[in-house]
Amino acid sequence: MKQQLMEMLAERKDEMIQIRRHLHENPELSFKEETTAQYILDFYKGKDVEVQSNVGNGYGIVVTIRGGKPGKTIALRADFDALPIFEETGLPFKSKNEGVMHACAHDGHTAYLLVLADCLIQLKDEIPGTIKIIHQHAEEVPPGGAKSIVESGTLDDVENIFGIHLLPTDPAGFVGYHSGYSMAGRSYLKLRIQGVGGHGSSPHKANDAIVAGAYFVTAVQTIISRRLNPFDMGVITIGSFDGKGTFNVIRDHVELEGDIRYMSDETKEIIGQELRRIADGIGAEFGVQCELTFTPDYPPLYNDPEMTELVRKSLEGADDPDIKKVTEYPMMSPSDDFAYYLEKIPGCYFYIGCTPKGVEQPYFNHHPKFDIDEDALIVAAKAVGCVVCGYYGM
């Protein structure tokens, strides 16, 4: 069956590219993907599958392919939301929705999985089990779509789950994997500092919120350097410092927002505790009021070692010209709400190289000039197809 599946996918490579380009031209933001969801639903019309729409807290879709033989139930997932980015690629199929862009390859994820799912539907009589195809909304914006799909109960019968992400770290043909903790968890930080405003000539009559905020920006980096175990991963980035005012007026309040990454729940708790301690100390030292918000978004992503080994073996034994190299990747600091699936269901999330041809230093995901080598679509489809066949022993 594997050989037959690979041949079917190869014949539909151009279709994957056409789907990807259509989706790229028509991106929609998280929780607003109504047209994209309808496009996906239309793709499955008339096919011998069960389709559930509006799964979870948005436009999630779950397609159930029941094999002709009894066996285990697995799930495959692709996300389909875009980002609030003005596209600068200059592609002939660039976004028609100004200020919205598929800058994280979710268009490619959806394109490969639609075609792979259709091929599996055609071969379903040979499949010894059930495959659930998850087309997930809202990966980019917390609380995301994955957690709500898990909580919906739709996947309660799923025993293992797999997914991929296109990354421009390697050329098309490269497939990467990592066992255990593989991607960082993420939390959101917001701090409002309320001081006392005043005239720039008389700072002694005010409590300067900007000075207090500047101290906070510096102090929080000591959490990483002096409070975490040196072998634990942690990052605190203050990405927004809203202190705009007039040059000779002491600002009475500022707001800061930040992004926090970590590779374990223990590290998350330490960072949260230390942030509160520093905020309380700044309040006392500068005579200001500090209102701290610390909101965990996505948990660290943990790849089950057994399922990761299955992925490695399946891909190394693929014997396919499109899968050129299978390699172990290091842990990565980006986050993905696929982690919610893996908290409940053992599985593996792995990576497909997509560096555009002729580019030595590609733009990374979320950049306005981000693009992919569309040959990566067939690699993704074949790689996940090989994993399915390896899982079922086909």
Can the peptide bond before residue 203 be classed as cis, meaning omega within 30 degrees of 0?
Answer: no
Strand-pair category, 160-171 with 69-79: parallel
* Set 28, 33, 107, 139: catalytic member: 139
Could you give the dihedral angle defined by the CA atoms of residues 19, 25, 31 and 36, in that order, rounded to the nearest 10 degrees?
A: -40
State the DSSP H helix or E strand holding residue 298, giving kind and residue range, or none if neither. Answer: strand 289-298
Question: 4 to each of 16, 31, 179, 239, how far by Cα in Å?
Answer: 18, 37, 30, 50
Q: Is 118 a catalytic residue?
A: no
8 A C-beta contact, residue 25 and residue 95: yes
Q: Is 15 a catalytic residue?
A: no
DSSP for 222-251, please give it: HHHHHTS-TTS-EEEEEEEEE----TTEE-
Q: Angle 199-202-207 (CA atoms, 0-180°, nearest 5)?
A: 80
Please give the structure tokens belonging to residue 342.
């893996």
State the DSSP H helix or E strand holding residue 4, giving kind and residue range, or none if neither. Answer: helix 2-11
* Set 28, 33, 79, 81: catalytic member: 81
How far is C-alpha 219 from the geometric centre of its chain's CA atoms?
A: 30
Short-list 299, 265, 289, 268, CA closest to 189: 268
8 A C-beta contact, residue 290 and residue 279: yes
Q: Is the dihedral of CA 36, 38, 41, 46 positive or negative?
A: negative
Residues involved in catalysis:
81, 139
